[in-house]
Structure 1
Amino acid sequence: MQKICVIGGSRYFGKLLVERLLAAGHHVTVINRGSTRPPDGVEHLAVDRNDEAPLTAALGARVFDVVVDQVCYTPVQAAVAARVFAGRTRRYVMTSTIEVYDPATGAPPVGTPVAEESVDPAGWPVDLGLPWGDEAFRAAHYAEGKRQAEAVFTRAGFDFVAVRSAHVLGGGAREFTGRLAHYVERVAAGRAIVVHADALPTVFVHYQELADLLRWAVEADFTGPVNACSDGLLDVHDLIAAVAAQLGREPVLRTVPAGEEASPFSFDRPYAMSNSRAKKLGYAFSRTTDWLPGAVAETVTTRQ
């Protein structure tokens, strides 16, 4: 049994992660602002992770084997956590994102899923002076915020892991982005779906698989970034076809040239990553095509 601290962890796949950790016999402490109650059997500290002094006071003398940070979006948040948890934990796992592989970072050619070393947090510059507290700035610089947060933790002295998640799908209430529901609703209603004519493929992960992988990262001993995506590349046309098959309807598509705005998951630039490092470390992924029909079916049922 380990002592695990989960920052966030009360909604969506974070809640499932907490349940998985409890089932494995770990002692779990959840930190959030108190708006959402964590599962039974969890120690709950209601405090804002951005407020350093109250967070330090709430933790008291607690120490942990591992901290899992589900809600770190900026280097400022990472710097606060690095100071607060210094000497309190040996391992820090941060939920990161495929978005760190923005083409501006030097993504590989089309058809080559990007590997972790394409964005090395150890050498990534950090600027704490940017207006990270401004919501609009933070939203517009989501990928850069995640990259710089990884960089801060990499230099903090922990055994640090960045789990770079693919696009998360799941169906029903767990499909928290609403993107799968977007396609279900448009296909069902016969409304046009805007896509790129030559849409490039990307990668996805089921929320249950992401929770399982995070638990694996908690219990493992590797460090550094690791990509989290199910096997198999899909483009937006594949996704729409899965929805159309479930609904028994022909989708209505409207194509736009590269560079113009399109529907979610329609990409006109490389947006796929490799999961080979996680496999070499011992994690076995599912195939997206195996779980996608169930996720679509759950979304259809929830919508009705």
Structure 2
Amino acid sequence: MASAISDHFSRKTIMLIGVAAITFCTLLITLVQSAEQLIILRLVTGLGGGFAVSAPFPIAAELMPARHRRTYGAIYEMCLASAFSILPLVGLLLAENPNAFRWMAPPGGLAFLVVPAVIYLLIPESPRWYLRRGRTQDAVDTVNRIIGRAGNRLPLLTIGELGDIRFGTREELPPYRALWAPGQLRWTLVGISSYVFAGTAFFLISVLLPKALVEQGGAVATGFGVATLVFTASIPGKGFTGYLMEIIGRRWTIFYALAGSLPGRLLMMLAHNAGPLAATAM
């Protein structure tokens, strides 16, 4: 939904909606009185998460030089992994407290009072989006603000330097079916399948494995501990892959990440046959 409307509304607006929805709904967790209310609230939070997560990379692609985008992607993912690591760690420490989920909510929920304002004030709108809307002067002003924030190492842009641009016209966006057109189909399938395989493997060990341990008699704290370990281990991994992309490129880095996960998944599959070493293998 967010990706479908982000080119019609600004990506900055999409990010604002997503961040505000996530933080506000998280704050409301402290007030829920039943499991049904909590489930509904988390569904709305997930919908807002789709808005927030889909916006940063297009914003970076439009506002950052190409040489910085891989580094930004690595830092962005490391920040996400850090947050994912802290949350189950807090859950581990509060596992015996029946109101633990309420105590975990305020740190993220109170960000509603700060983070949306920071995004609105500090992240510039996309100049390309302004141009598609025919707002050439706004696009020029945005570029010049970026130049100023970067230390004025480039001359300021003027409307005349943009060439013959017709005011009030909008660039027609390709339909979604263009992703499946000849020439693009291969890249679409490779991108989707890579993300699905990697995401499935990651959440199997970070979410479903802790749940399975609890259902098989393990302590709740053990499940939280495993999740904390997995997310924490991914922080240097994401930093390394960001560095590796600069050396061998995106394609081979994706291959390395997917192939490198196979030994760990194989150990998980065979751990039940390892006897006294099962816990270590797992």
TM (norm. structure 2) is 0.27
Higher RCO structure (Cα 8 Å, ≥6 apart): 2
Greater radius of gyration (CA): 2
**More helix per residue: 1 or 2?**
2
**More strand per residue: 1 or 2?**
1
